[in-house]
């Protein structure tokens, strides 16, 4: 607890750190980072500067999650629907992804963070795609927290692709009728891009929006949700702590009583 106290010193008056159970830190936290554009508008800046301001929130989230012992952290960086945004904004985001990943990689590697991506990287600009691929390869043997970056990711297409893979195996004879009949929900999860990872226990969404935005629809069936009105660039280690404290007060029954 001493290390945790030092991590959150000074402590805001609304947080009682004695309520934190360090043995019940969520194993997997998933975050829908929302509000960069609104933050920029509130501060009289363009949307590009809002996205740049959001990078500090990402740094804080990764650092604090790792320090607290979170084993898996998934961040929703760019969805399949985000291609509908203005071309100039997409270009800014893709350049920002590449620049930030390159700048942060050494530090993440030193902290033994393992980087994974989910989503279709093939549609990304070559520089951005290569930067992510190099980060995944370089950190593949690390034993610390797994940072999962969802980029060009959409849960519906992920589920469709999983069903397609099962159908192709059935047609080729790799899966017979008995195997198909015995296919379980856990078996199906093995065809998703998050295979071999635990489902998120806690999903955090910033900016006060109450929607899933096509994010991990299969994986978050029994996740606990925490929505904060805080815009993403203002999300800091104390906001993460508030989310975890709220999570620890939930009675997780998984459909039982």
pLDDT one-digit tens code per residue, 185-217: 999 999 999 999 999 999 999 999 999 999 999
Spatial separation of the C-alpha atoms in residues 177 and 183, rounded to whole Å: 10
Per the CB < 8 A criterion, the answer to whether 98 and 144 are in contact is: no
Three-state secondary-structure class, residue 60: helix
Say whether 82 is catalytic: yes
Tell me if 164 is assigned to some domain: no
Q: Nearest 5°: phi and psi at 38? A: -65, -35
Please report the pLDDT score of residue 2 as a whole number: 55
Tell me if 244 is assigned to some domain: yes
Please report the pLDDT score of residue 92 as a whole number: 94
Q: What is the mean pLDDT of the chain?
A: 95
Say whether 161 is catalytic: no
- Least confident piece of the model among 5-9, 30-34, 70-74: 5-9
Spatial separation of the C-alpha atoms in residues 73 and 114, rounded to whole Å: 10
Please report the pLDDT score of residue 86 as a whole number: 94
Tell me if 19 is assigned to some domain: no
pLDDT greater than 90 at residue 105: yes
Q: Which of 82, 95, 142, 161 is catalytic?
A: 82
Per-residue pLDDT averaged across 13-29, rounded? 95
How do the residues of the chain divide into helix, strand and coil, expressed in percent and rounded to 5?
Answer: 50, 15, 35
Q: Which of 34, 66, 152, 234 is catalytic?
A: 34
Tell me if 178 is assigned to some domain: no
Spatial separation of the C-alpha atoms in residues 191 and 164, rounded to whole Å: 10
Tell me if 3 is assigned to some domain: no
Phi-psi region of 133 (alpha: psi -120 to 50; beta: other; left: phi over 0): alpha
pLDDT greater than 70 at residue 135: yes
Total of domains in the chain: 1
Rounded to the nearest angstrom, the gap between the alpha carbon of residue 191 and the centroid of all alpha carbons in its chain is 19
Please report the pLDDT score of residue 4 as a whole number: 81
Please report the pLDDT score of residue 1 as a whole number: 56
Strands 202-205 and 28-32, bridge-based pairing:
parallel
Per the CB < 8 A criterion, the answer to whether 184 and 130 are in contact is: no
Considering only residues 6 and 73, tell me which one the structure prediction assigns the higher pLDDT: 73
Tell me if 14 is assigned to some domain: no
pLDDT one-digit tens code per residue, 230-254: 999 999 999 999 999 999 999 878 8
Per the CB < 8 A criterion, the answer to whether 144 and 170 are in contact is: no
CATH of the domain at 144: 3.40.1180.10
Tell me if 68 is assigned to some domain: yes
Tell me if 166 is assigned to some domain: no
* Domain enclosing residue 109, as ranges: 24-154+199-248
Tell if the pTM clears 0.85, that is, is over it: yes
Per-residue pLDDT averaged across 154-174, rounded? 97
What tokens were used for 168? 């192709």
pLDDT one-digit tens code per residue, 36-71: 999 999 999 999 999 999 999 999 999 999 999 999
pLDDT greater than 80 at residue 5: no
Considering only residues 237 and 7, tell me which one the structure prediction assigns the higher pLDDT: 237
Per-residue pLDDT averaged across 146-172, rounded? 98
Angle at 135 between CA 60 and CA 27, to 5 degrees: 50
């Amino acid at each position: 607890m001493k290390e945790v106290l030092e991590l959150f010193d000074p402590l805001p008056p609304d947080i009682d750190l004695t309520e934190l159970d360090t043995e019940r830190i969520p194993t997997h936290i998933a975050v829908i980072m929302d509000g960069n554009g609104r933050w920029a508008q509130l501060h009289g800046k363009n949307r590009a500067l809002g996205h740049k301001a959001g990078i500090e929130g990402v740094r804080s989230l990764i650092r604090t999650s790792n320090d607290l012992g979170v084993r898996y952290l998934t961040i929703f960086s760019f969805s399949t629907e985000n291609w509908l945004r203005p071309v100039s904004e997409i270009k800014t985001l893709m350049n920002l992804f590449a620049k930030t990943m390159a700048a942060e990689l050494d530090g993440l590697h030193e902290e033994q963070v393992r980087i994974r991506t989910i989503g279709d990287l093939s549609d990304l600009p070559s520089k951005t795609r290569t930067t992510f691929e190099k980060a995944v390869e370089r950190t593949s043997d690390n034993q610390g927290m797994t940072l999962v970056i969802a980029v060009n990711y959409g849960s519906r297409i992920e589920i469709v692709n999983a069903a397609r893979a099962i159908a192709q195996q059935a047609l080729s004879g790799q899966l017979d009728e008995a195997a198909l009949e015995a296919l379980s929900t856990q078996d199906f999860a093995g065809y998703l891009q998050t295979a071999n990872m635990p489902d998120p226990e806690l999903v955090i969404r910033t900016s006060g929006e109450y929607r899933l935005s096509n994010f991990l629809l299969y994986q978050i069936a029994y996740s606990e949700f925490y929505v904060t009105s805080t815009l993403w660039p203002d999300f800091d280690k104390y906001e993460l702590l508030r989310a975890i404290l709220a999570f620890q007060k939930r009675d997780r029954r998984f459909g039982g009583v």
